[in-house]
Amino acid sequence: MAYRDLDFDLTDEQKALRDTIRKFGTEVMRPAGEKLDKLADPKDVIAKGSVLWDVIRTFRELGIHRRSIPKALGGMLEDVDPMSNVLIGEEMGYADAGLTISLGAGGMPFAYAALFPNPKLQELARAYAADTKGELIGCWAITEPDHGSDWVMAGNNPKTGPSVRGVLKGDEFIVNGQKAAWVSNGTIATHAVFHVGLDPEKGMQGQGLAIIPLDLPGITKGKPLDKIGQRPLNQGEIFFEEVKIPKEYMIITPDMGIMQGMGEAILAAANGGMGITFAGLAKAAYDEAYKYANERVQGGVPIIQHQNIQLKIFKMFTLVEAARAATRRMARYNAVNMPPSGAHAVACKCFSTETAFQVASEAIQIFGGNGLSREYPIEKIFRDARAAMIEDGVNETLSLAAVQYL
């Protein structure tokens, strides 16, 4: 029996887009993700000739990366409706969550650059939109050894401001410090959305936001992080030693008084995307379990005919549908409202990631011993889902931060 989707109001264009992304996920992302996951050394994931670069190039050739760039700069932002963005995110998350996050982070600096009337930044956004070879890759350089999930809660306490500091000298900011090993794309990025402390007395409210190239003198990168889940997603440290960042790269400074107002928008964008991605991964876990339950015979019949398996399957189905429905509602609202709802985005992130983990765990139980074998994709899905409850902020801390928006 086919999975019964209730997206009865999709247009022909949305269906065609969904099918294109589904094919990309099935034929490119899923096989590549499984291959990259099995590499023993994370350096091999990013090595020249790695299938990772095939994924990036195919993604760019399809033009999906252009959805975050305005048409005036060679993108297709205005042509992609909110529901289409949901379909893209869910289908990609279904295929491979780690690669989805890598591809998403890869466009962040350029999407930010497109927002500001700075000729150099606008040209950077235009170059990204035209890039089909994967030569421009972005990252979100926010996490630090001393600051991770608490970034969204630190406020104006001078004891909890960014560890990476910048001091204005003439027309340049002199920057020193270290971004943590959890920077997605940190080992391969050419550009970054860069959070830096400029006014220590204001804590996190004293931070600045810059769009920077990562080939500036004084910038070095650490080795790729070795981890249990989302191994196709390369992550690594970035070090800054007396780095001179031109003043024009700093798009937001504390004196503008807008960083605090941007907090909910940033929280909503990051967590909203996570919610969509892992609703997709939850569905992948469900589909693997349903398929296996119809194939595996025990007691002379497929195990789907045993009532305990039927109860598990239906509970999993219910959770997946709830996650998908919530993320659709949240994403469509936040796409057209400012400020967006940070509370709904965080709720979706927490619920989708926890659903993906719970459904994947139940799927392993249905697989039995085979669920522990790397021969089947469910153990990878389980590991990828587990990472998500920490990723982009641990769910507990995010929930505490989002309470203020209620």
Per residue in 228-274, pLDDT (tens digit) is 999 999 999 999 999 999 999 999 998 887 776 677 888 899 999 99
Q: Is pLDDT of 340 > 70? A: yes
Is residue 243 within a helix (H) or strand (E), and if so which, with residue range? Answer: strand 238-246
Closest Cα to residue 337, out of 268, 277, 276? Answer: 268
pLDDT on residue 369: 96
Among the residue ranges 152-166, 188-202, 240-254, 279-293, the one predicted with the least confidence is 152-166
Q: Do β-strands 191-197 and 207-213 pair in parallel, antiparallel, or remain unpaired?
A: antiparallel
pLDDT on residue 260: 66
Q: Is pLDDT of 42 > 80? A: yes
pLDDT in tens, 99-135: 999 999 999 999 999 999 999 999 999 999 999 999 9
Query: How many Cβ atoms sit within 10 Å of the Cβ of residue 376?
Result: 16
Average model confidence (pLDDT) across the chain: 94
pLDDT on residue 190: 98
What's the pTM? 0.95
pLDDT on residue 2: 64
Closest Cα to residue 162, out of 195, 193, 194, 197? Answer: 197
Q: Which domains does the chain have, with CATH numbers?
A: 12-130 (1.10.540.10), 138-256 (2.40.110.10), 259-405 (1.20.140.10)
pLDDT on residue 338: 87
State phi, psi for 388 to the nearest 5 degrees. Answer: -70, -25
4 burial via Cβ count (<10 Å: 0-12, 13-18, 19+): exposed
Mean pLDDT on 217-235: 97
**DSSP letter (8 states) at residue 396:** H
Give 33's pLDDT tier (boundaries 50, 70, 90).
Answer: very high
pLDDT in tens, 344-355: 999 999 999 999
| Cα–Cα distance for residue pair 155/204, rounded to 1 Å | 5
Mean pLDDT on 6-17: 90
- 286-308 burial, b at 16+ Cβ within 10 Å, e below that, comes to bebbbebbeebeeeeeebbeeee
Strands (E) across 14-143 are located at: 138-141
